[in-house]
Amino acid sequence: MGKQKLKNLLGFLILLFFAVLFIMPVAVVLMNSFKSRFSISQYPFVLPDANTFVMLENYTEGIKNTGFFSAFGWSLFITVFSVAAIVVFTSMTAWYIVRVKGIFNSILYYALVFSMIVPFQMVMFTMSKTANALSLDNPLGIVFIYLGFGAGLSVFMFTGFIKSVPVQIEEAATIDGCNAVQTFWQIVFPILKPTAITVAILNTMWIWNDYLLPYLVIGRDYKTIPVAIQYLKGGYGSVDMGAMMAMLVLAIIPVVIFYLTCQKYIIKGVAAGAVKG
């Protein structure tokens, strides 16, 4: 066997190992979602058999006890509008920062980049109090909060890509009679499609799975899926593990489908955003 084939085989085995390592937790959750709650704690890594298989009982029980469809609706509303706001506003902000030179724009850019390294735990108490004072403690208000927390990384990615876009394209659009708004939406934003989709995917996975921010801001009044799932925990630390596993599977499915649909744009968008800046 040649050295190149040996290297390829070794690389394949290493990647296969990491693939199994990352897929295993999801497989364990899926497997246990069809087992009785007692068999999960006793035999968590054993496939369900005739004695432990409970069909869809965990799913029906979890949906009933969590109000899953209501939580799914609120999660979908918050995720869709938050991601749309992040993509639209941060792309415009990045374009303005790159094309309009000035001290204010430089300060704004570095402030947004700095926000990426600030731990959420440092600001969560102040943020929750401010959200309450400004009446942002509702599904629509939390969209603005997500916009603020998601702006740093999104502006950083958009800025890197826009720096690689020739300014002559925009100048040609201006000569043809386009104003700034028309130039952005008709010329610039279509070029930003790979990065926009990458930003949308990253923020969708974050917002859909986020537990702490919805719990602090909107609480049990508008429960999202992660918040609803934790209410399966009863008194004295008892947990309906079967129903929890089933609800975790239902929570994973939408974001996995979205990711698989758009995955081809992730590497392309990240690489494009790293060309410059």
90-141 confidence digits (pLDDT tens): 999 999 999 988 899 899 999 998 888 888 888 888 888 888 888 888 999 9
Q: Using the structure block, give the residue that is written with the tokens 């430089």.
A: 106
Of 188, 138, 135, give the one whose Cα is nearest residue 162: 188
At 184-209, the pLDDT tens digits run 998 899 888 888 988 998 899 899 99
At 47-56, the pLDDT tens digits run 888 788 888 8
pLDDT at 165 over 50: yes
Output the CA–CA distances (angstroms, integers) from residue 46 to 39, 81, 134, 175, in the order listed. 9, 41, 51, 68
Q: Using the structure block, give the residue that is written with the tokens 């094309």.
A: 99
Confidence grade of residue 274 (pLDDT, cut at 50, 70, 90) = very low
Distance between CA atoms of residues 57 and 39, nearest Å: 14
Of 94, 66, 228, give the one whose Cα is nearest residue 159: 94
Distance between CA atoms of residues 242 and 14, nearest Å: 33
For the ranges 92-106, 162-176, 261-275, which has the lowest average pLDDT?
261-275
Sequence-ordered alpha helix ranges (H) in the chain: 3-32, 37-42, 57-66, 68-99, 103-115, 120-133, 141-162, 167-175, 180-183, 189-191, 193-209, 212-217, 225-230, 241-262, 264-273
Distance between CA atoms of residues 109 and 33, nearest Å: 46
For the segment 242-265, the average pLDDT, to the nearest whole number, is 85
What φ, ψ does residue 69 adopt, rounded to 5°?
A: -65, -35
Contact 231, 66 (CB under 8 A): yes
Using a cut of 0.75, tell me whether the model's pTM lies above it: yes
For the ranges 116-120, 121-125, 227-231, 268-272, which has the lowest average pLDDT?
268-272
pLDDT value at position 94?
Answer: 94
Q: Which CATH architecture has domain 53-273?
A: Orthogonal Bundle (1.10)
Distant-in-sequence, close-in-space partners of 35: CB < 8 Å, separation ≥ 6: 43, 48, 52, 53, 54, 58, 242
pLDDT at 264 over 60: yes
Distance between CA atoms of residues 250 and 255, nearest Å: 10
Say how many C-beta atoms besides its own lie within 10 A of residue 53's C-beta: 13
Confidence grade of residue 275 (pLDDT, cut at 50, 70, 90) = very low
User: DSSP state, 235?
Assistant: G
For the segment 233-238, the average pLDDT, to the nearest whole number, is 63
Q: Using the structure block, give the residue that is written with the tokens 């403690």.
A: 137
Distance between CA atoms of residues 122 and 108, nearest Å: 21
What average pLDDT is seen over the chain?
86
Q: At what angle do helices 141-162 and 68-99 cross, to 10 degrees?
A: 40
pLDDT at 269 over 70: no
Say how many C-beta atoms besides its own lie within 10 A of residue 177's C-beta: 7
Confidence grade of residue 61 (pLDDT, cut at 50, 70, 90) = confident
pLDDT at 1 over 70: no
